[in-house]
Amino acid sequence: MSELALGSAALLVLTKEIRVDREALDRHAADLLSALAAAPWAADSPTLSVVAVAIHHYYGAAESIFERVARAFEGPPERSDRWHQHLLDRMALSLDGVRPGILRRDTARALAPVLGFRQFFRHAYAVSFDPRRLELAARDVIGAQTFLRDDLDALENALTTAARGE
């Protein structure tokens, strides 16, 4: 990741901001693991709402990292009806002379259903949650977490190294 085209101060600030978002990711993943351990869930269980909110917030924290990276290196994401998906896809692209890919393609694929749930959740005001589908969405997050953690570790290491001028 030697092609990070930012000054050292900007790289350090970006690294600190990403760490805050990563703490939020970890909290939401832990909430999901706790809720999964408490299964089975009844259709009217308050656990369903906790899980739905944790999935929503988990992807929101991940997307916050993606937005920070995009703004820092190539400018703010262009808003359109599919900008969330475009931003996720963009993070898997290497931009020669600007930045390497932030996510592996496997990570972007693993996060796609989590984004899909988040979009559903944001617009489903009058929908009851299906416990089985919600459990599957929570498991999607847990499955994506390892991929994302590894990619974000690599990003933080690259940002720190580049900030030191190495």
Residue 139: pLDDT over 60: yes
Burial tier of 29 (Cβ tally within 10 Å: 0-12, 13-18, 19+): buried
pLDDT digits (tens, 9 = 90+) for 110-132: 999 999 999 998 887 777 788 88
* CB contact at 8 A, 21 and 64: yes
DSSP state of 97: T
Structural domains in the chain, CATH included, are 8-163 (1.20.120)
pLDDT digits (tens, 9 = 90+) for 44-97: 677 888 889 999 999 999 999 999 999 999 888 888 889 999 999 999 999 888
Single pTM value for the model: 0.89
Residue 145: CB partners within 8 Å, gap ≥ 6?
25, 29
